[in-house]
């Protein structure tokens, strides 16, 4: 395991983050307490220090288990949790981005984690109703109080994150150091706005669902034009939108490269993610068994070659659309930079993802 600074901060985190949405069996597809402990121990043995949870995961059990697991050496771990999703569905203020929800959630998370501070506190999802200055001032208050050392944002449009960090910097408030987004070989739309935004603002990027809910591990197969799966909960309800003919073609390419390399498909999918983007992606890996976490950790032991990366890029390629393709077009580049475009050195923050 290697380590990196998260975004523009000085916080040092492991290059893989352990996701704990599977810690607890309340949601019917998670791991038992014993299995969760074994998964955590294996992650730590590999040098992992970065752990992610949320106040709603497995009805609060995830935070409680994480708190128990880190208790013997709390300061060694970088613990992140989130607020926004409701814990009281019949209460109008039981969730959301507003200050009341934020304060209630952070106090509950501190109790459940059994800690006096949270290393990174994430806005879980944008509610589109709370004023940005209320959100950022509220998070800044938590940072100044010491209850949250850093703040991050998840599942939020790029323009909202950009505005939020700009407002925070102008007013001297704490700004987001990290972004969480879904990103994997069958969900690459973050390349249109979110990843270029993160690069411009120097945000650390964590990719959730890096294996697309297991679609990229080979657990689903095609029967003619239909996707075959045995687990109706995980396959039908949670992965329904991911199980398409296109995603199965991507999965087949992952499987082929895994066979060639003598590696597990999960390791191939994770290493495409780690090698593909200049944004230095940190995958959030999760597991229900020790075998699964060991397979995920195995991605650290090798790299994909240029041919393999090219095949994965090609089979999963998306259209960036307007204005990206228009701005990258040769006629417009000549109009903007003249005939000496290739002689101009641009700072990395101005180089968009996938720019020719």
Structure tokens at 217: 């591990």
Alpha helices in 71-193 (DSSP H): 99-113, 132-145, 158-171
> Over 60: is that where the pLDDT of 353 sits?
no
Q: Do 247 and 218 form a contact (C-beta atoms < 8 A)? A: no
Q: Do 57 and 24 form a contact (C-beta atoms < 8 A)? A: yes
Supply the DSSP symbol for 242. G
pTM value? 0.92
What integer pLDDT is reported at residue 233 of this predicted model? 47
What integer pLDDT is reported at residue 177 of this predicted model? 98
Catalytic residue among 3, 57, 117, 183: 57
232: exposed, middle or buried (C-beta count within 10 Å: 0-12, 13-18, 19+)?
A: exposed
Rounded mean pLDDT, 313-342: 91
For the segment 174-213, what is each residue's pLDDT rounded down to a tens digit? 999 999 999 999 999 999 999 999 999 999 999 999 999 9
- Between CA 17 and CA 40 the distance in angstroms is 11
> Over 60: is that where the pLDDT of 232 sits?
no
> Over 70: is that where the pLDDT of 235 sits?
no
> Over 80: is that where the pLDDT of 239 sits?
no
What integer pLDDT is reported at residue 226 of this predicted model? 64
Q: Please state the φ and ψ torsions of residue 123, each to the nearest 5 degrees.
A: -70, 120
> Over 60: is that where the pLDDT of 95 sits?
yes
- Between CA 356 and CA 296 the distance in angstroms is 32
| Collapsed DSSP state (helix, strand, coil) of residue 346 | coil
What integer pLDDT is reported at residue 296 of this predicted model? 98
Of the pLDDT bands very low, low, confident and very high (cuts 50, 70, 90), residue 224 is low
Rounded mean pLDDT, 131-155: 98
What integer pLDDT is reported at residue 348 of this predicted model? 64
The answer to whether residue 57 is catalytic is: yes
What integer pLDDT is reported at residue 3 of this predicted model? 97
Which candidate, 134, 92, 110, 100, places its Cα nearest to that of 55? 110
Rounded mean pLDDT, 323-342: 89
Domains of the chain in start order, with CATH, are 3-316 (3.20.20.100), 323-356 (no CATH)
Rounded mean pLDDT, 233-247: 71
Q: Do 95 and 104 form a contact (C-beta atoms < 8 A)? A: no
- Between CA 291 and CA 289 the distance in angstroms is 5
Of the pLDDT bands very low, low, confident and very high (cuts 50, 70, 90), residue 356 is very low
């Amino acid at each position: 395991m290697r380590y990196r600074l998260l975004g523009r901060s000085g916080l040092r985190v492991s290059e893989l983050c352990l996701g704990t949405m599977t810690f607890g069996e309340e949601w019917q597809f998670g791991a038992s307490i014993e299995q969760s402990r074994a998964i955590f121990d294996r992650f730590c043995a590999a040098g992992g220090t970065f752990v992610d949870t949320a106040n709603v995961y497995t009805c609060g059990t995830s935070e409680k288990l994480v708190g128990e697991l880190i208790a013997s050496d709390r300061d060694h771990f970088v613990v992140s949790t989130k607020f926004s999703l409701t814990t009281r569905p019949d209460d109008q203020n039981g969730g959301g981005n507003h200050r009341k929800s934020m304060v209630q959630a952070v106090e509950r998370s501190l109790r459940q984690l059994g800690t006096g501070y949270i290393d990174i506190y994430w806005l879980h999802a944008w509610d589109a109703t709370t004023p940005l200055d209320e959100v950022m001032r509220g998070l800044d208050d938590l940072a100044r109080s010491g209850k949250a050392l850093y703040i991050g944002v998840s599942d939020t449009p790029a323009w909202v994150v950009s505005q939020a960090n700009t407002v925070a910097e102008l007013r001297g408030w704490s700004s987001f150091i990290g972004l969480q987004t879904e990103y994997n070989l069958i969900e690459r739309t973050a390349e249109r706005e979110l990843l270029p935004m993160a690069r411009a603002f120097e945000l650390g990027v964590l990719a959730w669902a890096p294996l697309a809910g297991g679609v990229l591990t080979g657990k689903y197969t095609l029967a003619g034009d239909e996707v075959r799966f045995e687990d109706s909960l995980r396959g039908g309800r949670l992965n329904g939108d991911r199980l398409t003919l296109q995603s199965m073609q991507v999965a087949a390419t992952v499987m082929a490269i895994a066979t060639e390399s003598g590696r597990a498909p999960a390791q191939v999918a994770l290493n495409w993610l780690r090698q593909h983007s200049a944004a230095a992606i940190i995958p959030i890996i999760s597991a229900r068994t020790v075998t699964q976490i060991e397979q995920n950790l195995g991605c650290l032991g090798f790299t994909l070659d240029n041919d393999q990366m090219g095949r994965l890029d090609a089979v999963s390629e998306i259209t960036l659309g307007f204005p990206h393709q228009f701005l990258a077009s040769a006629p417009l580049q000549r109009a903007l930079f003249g005939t000496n475009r290739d002689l101009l050195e641009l700072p990395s923050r101005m180089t968009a993802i996938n720019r020719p």
